[in-house]
Structure 1
Amino acid sequence: MAAAAGSTIPSHIQGWMYSEYGKASDVLKLDPNVLIPELKEDQVLIKVIAAALNPVDSKRMLGFFKESDNIPAVPGYDVAGVVVKVGSQVKNLKEGDEVYGDINEKGLDFPKKFGSLAEYTAAEEKVLALKPKNLSFVEAASLPLAIETAYEGLERAGLSAGQSILVLGGAGGVGTQVIQLAKHVFGASKIAATSSTGKLDLLKSLGADLPIDYTKVKYEELPEKFDVVYDTVAEADRALKAVKEGGQVMTIDPRGPKVTFFILTSTGTILEKLRPYLESGKVKPLIDPKGTFPFSQAVEAFSYLDTNRATGKVVIYPIP
């Protein structure tokens, strides 16, 4: 499990690395002798207990952000673990704290060379929050990037109590959080969401009033239009036909025309704001039924993530 705070911290650790761009199955290799990251003054060193994978990890590995990227690199944005060392300017975290977060403040601008798929990683205090006590490390690791993306998108869309929303890709990592936050945090009066046939019951259980089977129904042809459409599946053209006049289409896909595209700025502040909803169980993490892979099977985990069939999140655990 975790190294006890204050215990000996090794100089070299195990970590997954890639030195060229391509699919994980071709380029991702386990290095048993990675130099542990140096700690900056505003950072803490974390003994990683669980790390979640995100589509952005695969895109980065494929070379989508070459202009701002730096390889060789250890992938991984989401982390949950225990603080084992703190920088001199760290104010609120201490050794022994159980923390979680998305360690890349600006996910596409100069992502960290040293991510979360290693035995230890370093992260700025401002991107971390204390782990909610009722969540396991696996559950906590699954949340940060997805829940922060969901929250920031809903906030930017100006979703307010009594409005309606359509969530495209409701069973995915971000979509499952958008549904829950729209209902419990933003007070949406009606939530519609799309998924394949087998996942409609899941959408209902998360709080969707109108689960839509995208294999049978063209949501843009429904007579009902929505105040906000939140697109997690890169269908901005269709999304525009489903929004009310004056409504907002939010997308996490940069190719969408005439819609609001945004890139998450990771901050522990959002995690702290959502803590009451997580601790009360109103908003829940969602791990794919197949979705916990041991550290040694990170390549298999990426291959599964890349099928786009995961429900909720894929998490690496345990990490030696």
Structure 2
Amino acid sequence: MAAASTDSIPSVNKAWVYSEYGKSADVLKLDPSVPVPQIKEDQVLIKVVAAALNPIDYKRALGYFKATDSPPPTVPGYDVAGVVVKVGSQVTKFKVGDEVYGDLNEKAVQYPKKFGSLAEYTAGEERVLALKPKNLSFVEAASLPAAIETAYEGLERTEFSAGKSILVLGGAGGVGTHVIQLAKHVFGASKVAATASTRKLELLRSLGA
């Protein structure tokens, strides 16, 4: 299966690319012939099914952290969900055909990858990926990594623990919805309060606020 799959992997693919910093609408272009990344021993090649956009993507494109960024040209995108089509020699956790998801960058602003998730194929280290839960679609899985990492780290940094109460400002946003659920179901909050516009209040209640 691995050999047949490898034979069918193209040498180039479509990817969104920017070659200079600026507003995404001005600098981001769809390139139909970007070389498919070569994987390292600890990486897998993923056929991308879904990719998410986060605030860090437009901030990176604007050059907000160019001092620690990998220099353009850049294929943006941190979050990915897709199917493994090739595995490096040191990879033990995944095999060809596995459905995976994750955030391709271990550190958001310190030398993020030049080749992200906004492409037909992308490469990711085994350690930054996980098997996609069967009860999540690829789109749902791709929406999770960066937002839930931010939410979890925020709760850890505040040393949040069971029995404490929390107020979540902007509870209906990507990070806010995860903070509510993590605080209640993982960290054991005694009470979760949250703010949002009136039409989103039922959503907040359904999440546990």
Same fold (TM over 0.5): yes
Aligned to 2:21: 21
Aligned to 2:49: 49
Q: How far does the alpha carbon of each residue in 1:247-288 deviate from its partner, in whole angstroms, 9 at most, with x for none? A: xxxxxxxxxxxxxxxxxxxxxxxxxxxxxxxxxxxxxxxxxx
Matched, 1:78 2:79: yes
AA aligned to 1:121 is: T
Aligned to 1:169: 170
Post-superposition shift, 1:148? 1.7
**C-alpha RMSD over aligned residues:** 1.2
The within-5 A match list for 1:121-140 is 121-140=122-141
Distance 1:200 1:178 in 2: 15
Matched, 1:150 2:139: no
Gaps of 5+ in 1: 209-320
Aligned to 2:189: 188
- Say which SS state the counterpart of residue 146 (structure 1) adopts: helix
Aligned to 2:111: 110
Post-superposition shift, 1:14? 0.1
Matched, 1:201 2:173: no
- Say which SS state the counterpart of residue 195 (structure 1) adopts: coil
AA aligned to 2:45 is: L
TM-score scaled by length of structure 2: 0.95
8 Å CA contact 1:5, 1:96 repeated in 2? no
TM-score scaled by length of structure 1: 0.62
AA aligned to 1:53 is: L
Distance 1:172 1:31 in 2: 31
Aligned to 1:58: 58
Query: Which 4+ stretches in 1 moved above 4 angstroms?
Result: 4-7
Distance 2:47 2:99 in 1: 10
Distance 1:102 1:170 in 2: 22
Distance 2:45 2:6 in 1: 11
AA aligned to 1:71 is: P
Distance 2:124 2:108 in 1: 13
- Say which SS state the counterpart of residue 65 (structure 2) adopts: coil
Distance 2:49 2:23 in 1: 25
How many residues get paired? 205
Post-superposition shift, 1:24? 1.2
8 Å CA contact 1:5, 1:83 repeated in 2? no
Distance 2:30 2:66 in 1: 22
AA aligned to 1:175 is: G
8 Å CA contact 1:46, 1:82 repeated in 2? yes
Post-superposition shift, 1:58? 0.6
Q: How far does the alpha carbon of each residue in 1:178-232 deviate from its partner, in whole angstroms, 9 at most, with x for none? A: 0011011111011111222322221111111xxxxxxxxxxxxxxxxxxxxxxxx
Gaps of 5+ in 2: none
Post-superposition shift, 1:6? 4.2
Distance 1:50 1:7 in 2: 23
